[in-house]
DNA sequence: GTTTTTCATGTTAGCGCTAACATTTCATGT
DNA sequence: ACATGAAATGTTAGCGCTAACATGAAAAAC
């Protein structure tokens, strides 16, 4: 008794069906689809006709299994709710798309443990490379990358240990915007921080360094909350800050959400911005140019970071060296009414 | 001469290696990982130890190929830059994650042709099902789904043709917010529309229906632009609208970006909102509760749509019937200062 | 005209896993 | 004691594709 045939995936048309229809061998079909220049014009055409006629869709799983290349890249980001990472994704997408790669998006929710689990889970897909947000990760993270010989590019910040990275100095950016507030004559400059991820902490370091240099650092002017940031939280933090330190004359908020919340609240309170209180944000999101008063902030090249990081990763995957293993894309102060 | 061995993917540890280390057959390892209740406690433990010791990561490709199930779902959305779809994704993610499914995200950039290409490209991964934004698609789209016997759930809107869908009536929502403006005594209510996707056009239909019912529809009060919407565009469209029709006394903007831009511009112009001009948006994004004056808008249950749609899809994949093939999750008017 | 090289195509085997069937083990009923 | 069936484990084959090698035909070199 013959055994029951297995179910087939997809519409059931395989490369062999195409080959039979075109009167060639399977490998020829494979070559027409993957290295067309290796096949003569005549056969190429015949095969393509058969592909169209049968509506053949090749199976990525079979291809990955046979070739040990998945043409897939894993992208690890901390949040899908933050425009910053979405614009980075958009940049990555354009490059990968053009190269025939697909991206797997792993959202770690700002949690190093979850990030590690994501990496493990997505390794099942045998990605050819990984794009990673941030430099510091849970313990066995780097070791796993190493074991699997996975090319990796780190995004958003700059590493000093030889890891391939594309970004800008979060610390320098934090220092720069703080110096701007100093240049406006402010001396009791506060810091509002939420989420408290790696990048926020570095901006905080930059803020501290700038104030130390100016001799007016005051630890009592830092307000930090590990919760995710939101406009509501910015408003609440402003209330708390003014209650504790009514002498505060400027605020550097670790991102624009917080800053817009604080700005909005100070408008409600009738505070004179920027005279009584200057406010600066970080990232230059769309609403920052539109709120009243318009928000001073730091524009970050997140889309370009995505593009450059993806390009560098593709080079690494192909065994080449990227143009630079440490690409500093800089940042730009956007000086507006709120300061 | 023996032929050169092939390269291996990943770290090179296979299920057979684990099986040998644990002193069992490969299929037992497979069962420990996939149907653990079928294996005795003792063996299960021995196998798990071997898995950990060797840091074994199963290959999804091999599994997909052998079982004709990819445990993967394709999600088609029109944009990654729009919070609305991201929150939908977040809802989908929670459900799929819990069920051990992974999602492939396809971004069509609001282009039906690109959407079709995405579907074709992602079919290579043999997804077990598809979550689709919107009801109308390029020609062979539905046929392809059919050919591949792909379970599909449509999101954001309600179909009348038996397709499984989760959403709310865009048309009814557009009508409801328009009736609200009418109830505020407005009679020359304009419509600002951008992007002009399917959902915007249905909101427009609802707006027209409500005005027809009240006997004050005026085709000269509709301003439509196929470009992607932005705050800038909202501001520009407000200028154009007031220049053409200074008698306009209310505006329904097809989304909050446009509305905030228009609101901001009318503040700059010193217009009295809502007395001289009432403004309403759509979606209830975060800034809408924070701009001045706060924005009247329609809150949409996008996260829940994601959750429900994913749940329904999982049922369809398992060959069961979802609770409802047409889940109406409703919407909510958020009445604020701008009206 | 013969050898060498190049190019186009084919044959074979195997990537790592799981469905289907086969076998063994052991508890249960009679 | 033995049949009966359920539970646990194993054997075999094959999912659909491509790397490696093999072959044949045409072009280039001598």
3-state secondary structure B40-83: CHHHHHHHHHHHHHHCCCCCHHHHHHHHCCCCEEEEEECCCCCH
What per-residue confidence (pLDDT) applies to B292? 85
B66 touches strand C (CB under 7 A): yes
| Same-domain status, A290 and A308 | no
Q: In the predicted model, is pLDDT for residue B10 greater than 70?
A: no
Residue B61 contacts A, CB cutoff 8 Å: yes
Q: Is A16 exposed, middle or buried (0-12, 13-18, 19+ CB in 10 A)?
A: exposed
The shortest CB-CB distance from B61 to any of A8, A64, A148 is to: A64
**From the Cβ of B9, is strand C under 7 Å away?**
yes
How far apart are alpha carbons A8 and B64 in whole angstroms?
11
**Residue from A243, A234, A228, A244 nearest A267 by CA:** A234
Residue with tokens 């504790």: A244
A8 lies in some domain: no
The answer to whether the C-beta of B219 is closer than 7 A to strand D is: no
CA of B99 to C1' of D4 (A): 39
CA atoms of B35 and B67, how far apart (whole Å): 14
Q: Look at residue B270 and tell me if it is in a domain.
A: yes
Would the pLDDT of B47 be above 90? yes
Residue A338 lies in a domain: no
Residue with tokens 């450059």: A308
Which nucleotides of strand C lie within 7 A of protein CB? 8-12, 14-21
**Which of A310, A309, A305, A285 has the alpha carbon at shortest distance from A295?**
A285
Whether residue B284 sits in one domain with residue B207: yes
pLDDT of B139 reads 86
Residues 121-140 of B with CB under 8 A from A: 121-126
pLDDT at A269 over 80: yes
Indicate yes or no: CB of A65 within 8 angstroms of CB of B62.
yes
Residue A24 lies in a domain: yes
Whether A147 has its CB under 8 Å from any CB of chain B: the answer is yes
User: CA–CA distance from B7 to each of A160, B4, B14, B26, B251 (Å)?
Assistant: 33, 9, 13, 21, 63
Partners of residue A80 in chain B, C-beta under 8 Å? 86, 89-90, 93
Same domain? For B194 and B273 the reply is yes
Among candidate residues B43, B38, B39, B37, the one with its CA nearest the CA of residue B23:
B43
Return mean pLDDT, chain A: 94
Output the pLDDT for position A139.
86
Q: Which residue has the higher pLDDT, B139 or B71?
A: B71
pLDDT at A5 over 80: no
How far CA A178 is from CA of A50, A249, A281, B167, in Å, comes to: 65, 12, 11, 46
Chain A stretch 169-228, residues whose beta carbon is closer than 8 A to a beta carbon of chain B: none
Q: What angle do CA B107, A127, A59 make, to 5 degrees?
A: 70
Measuring from the CA of residue A66 to each C1' atom, give the nucleotide at the shortest distance: C15
Cβ neighbors of A75 (< 8 A, separation 6 or more) are A89, A92, A103, A104, A105, A106, A130, A131
* A46-105 residues near strand D (Cβ < 7 Å): 58-59, 62-63, 65-67, 69
Query: 3-class DSSP state for residue B158?
Result: coil
pLDDT band at B317; cut points 50, 70, 90: very high
Q: How many domains in chain B?
A: 3
**Beta pairing partners, A103:** A73
**How far apart, in whole angstroms, are the C-alpha atoms of residue A299 and residue B325?**
46
Q: Report the percent of chain A where pLDDT is more than 90.
A: 91
How far is it, in rounded angstroms, from Cα A217 to Cα A234? Answer: 22
Put simply, whether A70 touches B (Cβ < 8 Å) is yes
Phi and psi torsions of A272, nearest 5°: -85, 110
Q: DSSP code of A162?
A: S
Instruction: Tell me whether residue B338 is in a domain.
Output: no
Average pLDDT score over residue span A24-41: 93
Indicate whether B129 and B232 sit together in one domain.
Answer: no
Token readout for B206 is: 């609802």
Query: Which bases of strand D sit closer than 7 A to a protein CB?
Result: 8-12, 14-21
For the stretch A171-188, pLDDT in tens is: 999 999 999 999 999 999
Residues of B in contact with A126 (CB under 8 A): 9-10, 59-61
A224 and A117, same structural domain? no
Nearest-angstrom CA–CA distance, B218 and B205: 13
Residue B296: name the closest of B259, B245, B248 by CA.
B259
Which tens digits make up the pLDDT trace of B274-299? 999 999 999 999 989 988 899 999 99
Mutate one of A5, A61, A259, A291 to test the B interface: name it (highest B CB count within 10 A).
A61
Residues A290 and A310 in one domain: no
* Chain A positions in Cβ-Cβ contact with residue B69 (cut-off 8 Å): 9
Residue A10 reports pLDDT greater than 90: no
Cα distances (Å, whole numbers) of residue B84 to B30, B89, B91, B303:
40, 9, 11, 8
Q: Residue B124: its chain A contacts at CB < 8 A?
A: 57-60
Domain boundaries, position A50: 15-58
- Whole-number Å distance between alpha carbons of B188 and B209: 14
CA dihedral B281, B284, B286, B287 (to 10 degrees): 10
Q: How far is CA B75 from CA A94, B78, B122, B156, in A?
A: 18, 10, 10, 13
Which chain A residues are Cβ-neighbours of B57 within 8 angstroms? Answer: 120, 123-124
- State how far the Cα of A100 lies from the Cα of A112, in Å rounded to an integer: 30
pLDDT average, residue stretch A288-292? 88
Judge if A291 and A174 occupy the same domain. yes
User: Which tens digits make up the pLDDT trace of A96-152?
Assistant: 999 999 999 999 999 999 999 999 999 999 999 999 999 999 989 999 999 999 999
* A55, A105, A260 member nearest B290 (Cβ): A260
Same domain? For B161 and B177 the reply is: no
Specify whether A96 is located in the same domain as A148: yes
The answer to whether position B265 is within a domain reads yes
Q: State the pLDDT at residue B97.
A: 92
Instruction: Give one DSSP letter per residue of A198-241, joined into a string.
Output: HHHHHHHHHHHHHHHHHT---GGGEEEE-SPP-HHHHHHHHHHH
Tell me the β-bridge partners of A191. Answer: A222, A252
Please name every residue paired with A303 in a beta bridge, in sequence order, or none if there are none: none
Of the candidates B21, B23, B24, which has an alpha carbon nearest to the alpha carbon of residue B56? B21
Mean pLDDT of A238-249: 96
Interacting residues of A280 by C-beta distance below 8 A, sequence separation 6+: A177, A180, A181, A250, A251, A252, A253, A259, A295, A296, A297, A298, A338, A339
Residue B8: pLDDT band (50, 70, 90) is low
B residues 258-287 near A, CB within 8 Å? 260-261, 264, 267, 286-287
Residue-level pLDDT at A290: 85
In a domain, A103, yes or no: yes
Which residue, among B185, B61, B170, B173, has the nearest Cα to B125 in the 3D structure?
B61
**Which one of A8, A9, A100, A295 would you mutate to disrupt binding with B, by most B Cβ within 10 Å of its Cβ?**
A9
A9 to chain B: closest CA residue? B68
Q: Establish whether the CB of B11 is closer than 7 Å to any nucleic acid atom in strand D.
A: no
Asked if A66 CB < 7 A from strand C, the reply is: yes
Instruction: For residue B289, give the 3-state DSSP assignment.
Output: helix
Distances (CA, A) of A51 to A13, A29, A48, B86, B91: 10, 9, 5, 36, 37
Please tell me whether residues B208 and B277 are part of one structural domain. yes
Q: Is the CB of A43 under 7 A from strand C?
A: yes
What is the structure's pLDDT at A292? 85
Each residue's pLDDT tens digit, B245-264: 999 999 999 999 999 999 99
> Which residue places its CA closest to the C1' of nucleotide D12?
A3
In sequence order, the 6+-apart residues with CB closer than 8 A to the CB of A5 are: none
CB contact under 8 A, A64 and B68: no
CATH of the domain at B153: 3.40.50.2300
DSSP-assigned letter for residue A98: H
Q: What integer is the mean pLDDT of A307-330?
A: 95
Q: What is the DSSP letter of B228?
A: P
What confidence tens digit (pLDDT) does each residue in B99-122 have? 999 999 999 999 999 999 999 999
- Same domain? For A163 and A45 the reply is no
- Any domain includes A101: yes
What gap in Å lies between CA B105 and CA B118, rounded to an integer? 10
Q: Residue A146 — left, alpha, or beta (φ > 0 → left; ψ -120 to 50 → alpha)? A: alpha
What lies within 8 Å, CB to CB, of A56 at 6+ separation is A13, A14, A15, A17, A18, A50
Residue in B301, B310, B153, B291 with CA at minimum distance from that of residue B234: B291
Of A270, A250, A253, the closest CA to residue A261 belongs to A253
B104 at A interface, C-beta within 8 A:
yes
My answer on whether B290 and B178 are in the same domain is yes
Is the Cβ pair A147, B11 closer than 8 Å? yes
Is the pLDDT score of A4 beyond 80?
no
């Amino acid at each position: 008794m013959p055994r029951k045939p297995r179910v087939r995936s997809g519409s059931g048309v395989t490369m062999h069906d195409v080959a039979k229809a075109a009167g060639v061998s399977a490998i020829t079909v494979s070559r027409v689809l993957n290295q067309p220049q290796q096949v003569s014009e005549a056969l190429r055409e015949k095969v393509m006709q058969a592909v169209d006629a049968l509506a053949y869709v090749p199976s990525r799983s079979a291809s990955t299994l046979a070739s040990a290349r998945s043409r897939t890249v894993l992208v690890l980001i901390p949040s899908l709710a933050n425009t910053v990472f979405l614009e980075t994704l958009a940049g990555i997408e354009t490059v990968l798309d053009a190269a025939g790669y697909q991206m797997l998006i792993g959202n770690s929710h700002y949690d190093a443990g979850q990030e590690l689990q994501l990496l493990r889970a997505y390794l099942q897909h045998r990605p050819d490379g990984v794009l990673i947000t941030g430099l510091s990760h849970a313990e066995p993270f780097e070791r796993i990358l190493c074991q699997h010989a996975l090319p990796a590019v780190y995004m958003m910040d700059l590493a000093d240990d030889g890891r391939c990275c594309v970004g800008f100095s979060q610390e320098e950016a934090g220092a720069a915007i703080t110096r701007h507030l100093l240049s406006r004559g402010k001396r009791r400059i506060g810091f509002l921080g939420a989420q408290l991820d790696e990048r926020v902490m570095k901006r905080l370091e930059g803020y501290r360094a700038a104030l130390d240099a100016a001799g007016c650092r005051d630890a009592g002017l830092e307000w930090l909350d590990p919760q995710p940031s939101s406009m509501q939280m910015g408003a609440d933090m402003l209330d708390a800050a003014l209650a504790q330190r009514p002498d505060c004359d400027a605020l550097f908020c670790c991102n624009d959400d917080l800053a817009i919340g604080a700005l909005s609240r100070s408008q409600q309170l009738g505070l004179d911005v920027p005279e009584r209180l200057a406010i600066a944000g970080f990232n230059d999101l769309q609403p920052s140019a539109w709120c009243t008063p318009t928000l001073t902030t730091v524009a970050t090249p997140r889309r370009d970071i995505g593009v450059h990081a993806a390009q560098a990763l593709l080079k690494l995957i192909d065994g080449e060296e990227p143009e630079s293993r440490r690409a500093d894309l800089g940042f730009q102060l956007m000086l507006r009414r709120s300061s």
